[in-house]
Amino acid sequence: MFEVIHVKLREGGKIIYYSTGGLKFKPGCYVIVEADRGVDYGQVLSDPEVILDSDVEGPLRTILRHATSDDMRRIEKNKEKASQAFDICVKKIAARKLHMKLVETEYSFDRSKIIFYFTAGERIDFRELVKDLARIFRVRIELRQIGVRDEARLLGGFGPCGRPLCCVEFLKDFEPVTIRMAKEQKLPLNPTKMSGLCGRLMCCLAYEYKTYREFGKKFPRQGDKIQLKEGKGKVVDVNIMKGLVSVELENGKKVQVNYK
């Protein structure tokens, strides 16, 4: 078993399980961690939890230490430099007339690399742009094309529930979300009410889907013919959470049946 916490790498990086290494951390604090290439920083998003060895996906990295005041000054300086790099990159994109939208720019903790996140409707040949940026900044340049959900995660914001976006707060990966999930939960099929800031179906539609499906096995489906003591009828509505089934009898009368 391992004691782990969720850490979001940099400002827009992935949310990853990290071993606490026996140290104590509180949600919201910044930490210095092992990363793919060297040392990086991240923010703690959760309280410690214990997971089984079988739940570990790939090598489990360790948090090296709490971020010091010097580390935090470096992080803030990196953000300032990243903002300047963003403006320069936007001008270079315009100069080369590339059909891409720059979303965010990040420096690695040690400033050995700059990551430029962008969206585009098609495949982009950005090799010359990379050369331009490498000549200016003289560090390793990485251009990373992302989707609209990743863009929402990077930029942040609030959902219709009034809380910060789930993808920013705790979601490690984006799971497929389908219109069927909304139908199973009897939600109004209104695109404006079912879509998140990214324009795609809200991730939270999947949270209770399995529960609705499991509970729904006990209920007849809409349109089924059933026999009641009042007579035969057709199911016209099912409310799984309240445990009620509305039935229209052959004589036109409507009754509700409690399935709890």
Average pLDDT across the chain, whole number: 86
pLDDT at 54: 63
pLDDT at 6: 84
Q: What is the pLDDT averaged over residues 47-69?
A: 79
pLDDT digits (tens, 9 = 90+) for 224-255: 888 888 888 888 888 887 888 888 887 888 88
Q: What would the 3-class secondary structure string for 162-210 be?
A: CCECHHHHCCCCCCCCCHHHHHHCCCCCCHHHHECCCCCECHHHHCCHH
pLDDT at 145: 93
pLDDT at 211: 83
State in Å, rounded, how far the first CA of the chain is from the last one.
39
Separation in Å, CA 74 to CA 18, 38, 189, 256: 22, 16, 48, 65
Closest CA to 89 of 104, 111, 110, 109: 104
pLDDT digits (tens, 9 = 90+) for 186-225: 788 888 888 888 889 999 988 888 888 888 788 888 888 8
Closest CA to 19 of 36, 32, 3: 3
Please give the domain boundaries of the chain with CATH numbers for all domains: 2-67 (no CATH), 72-150 (3.30.300), 175-217 (no CATH), 225-258 (no CATH)
Position 12 confidence tier, pLDDT thresholds 50, 70, 90: low
pLDDT digits (tens, 9 = 90+) for 128-176: 999 999 999 999 999 999 989 888 888 888 988 888 888 888 787 788 8
45 or 101: which leads in pLDDT: 101
pLDDT surpassing 70 at residue 43: yes
Angle at 184 between CA 153 and CA 237, to 5 degrees: 145
Helix (H) or strand (E) holding 129: helix 127-137
Q: What is the pLDDT averaged over residues 43-70?
A: 81
pLDDT at 2: 80
Whole-number Å distance between alpha carbons of 244 and 241 = 8
Lowest pLDDT segment from 7-11, 21-25, 175-179, 236-240: 7-11
Full-model pTM: 0.75
168 or 68: which leads in pLDDT: 68
